[in-house]
Chain A
Amino acid sequence: DGGITQSPKYLFRKEGQNVTLSCEQNLNHDAMYWYRQDPGQGLRLIYYSQIVNDFQKGDIAEGYSVSREKKESFPLTVTSAQKNPTAFYLCASSSDSQRTQYFGPGTRLLVL
C-alpha cells in the first residue's frame, strides 16, 4: 500500500533528552513537511523539504532539527532546547509544493 507512516505512535521524552520521530513515505513525493498540533490551535509548520538534501524552517523551527538524506524519509529530532515539546506531531508529503498534502497518522510526544 502507498502511504505515509510515522513511528512511534507514542513517544516519551525525559528532561534534557533528544528524541527522533520517524516519517517515511512510498508515494514518490518530492516534498515533505512536519507540523505540530496543540489543543485548540491550528497546525503549525515546523520544517519542510522540497527536495532531497534541502530543507527550510517553518514558523516554529526553534528546538527542532531535520534531515532529508533520502527521498522517502524525513526524520524530525526534538532537541532538549525545545522547552514545551508535548504535542501531536504530523508529517505530510506532496508531489510538489503546490499539490495536495497527504498526512501520516501522527506521533504523540509526552514529557516524563
Chain B
Amino acid sequence: KQEVTQIPAALSVPEGENLVLNCSFTDSAIYNLQWFRQDPGKGLTSLLLIQSSQREQTSGRLNASLDKSSGRSTLYIAASQPGDSATYLCAVKDTGTASKLTFGTGTRLQVTL
C-alpha cells in the first residue's frame, strides 16, 4: 500500500528566503506525482505535475524534482513571499490503479514579513 509522507509538517520563514518542501513515498511504481496548494478552508490548486519519466518541472518561482528510485520529491520555492503562505500537498498516482491519488498530510507554510 502506497504511503506518502511530508516533512516538515509546518514551516515558518522570513520573506525572501528560498525554501524546500519534502515528500517521500514508499512504492516507486508511480505514474506521476503532483504538488498542490491549499489555502485555509479552500479547495486544492495544482501547482506542478511530474510524470514518472521526468526529473523535474518548473513554473515561475517553483521547481519540483522527482527521484523515483529513492521515493522522493522536493518542491523548491525561490524568493518566498507572504502570498505563498498556504498548505502544500504532495500526491502520487500509482501505476497499478486507474484513478487513485495518494496524498500526504501536507506542509503548512507561513512566510512572514
Interface residues of A (CB under 8 A from B): 4, 6, 31, 33, 40-45, 48, 50, 56, 58-59, 88, 90, 92, 97-98, 100-106, 108
Interface size in chain B (residues, C-beta < 8 A): 24
What is the predominant secondary structure among interface residues of chain B facing chain A? strand
The 8 A CB mask of B23-45 against A (1 = contact, 0 = none) is 00000000110101000011111
Q: A41-B105, A43-B89 are in contact. Are A105 and B43 (CB under 8 A)?
A: yes
Residues of B within 8 A of A43 (CB): 44, 89, 91, 101, 103
Partner of A42, one of B45, B98, B100, B106: B106
Confirm or deny: B54 has a beta carbon within 8 angstroms of a beta carbon on chain A.
Answer: no
Task: State whether A103 touches B89 (Cβ < 8 A).
Answer: no
Task: State whether B42 touches A106 (Cβ < 8 A).
Answer: yes
Task: State whether B43 touches A103 (Cβ < 8 A).
Answer: yes
CB distance from A108 to the nearest CB of B (A): 7
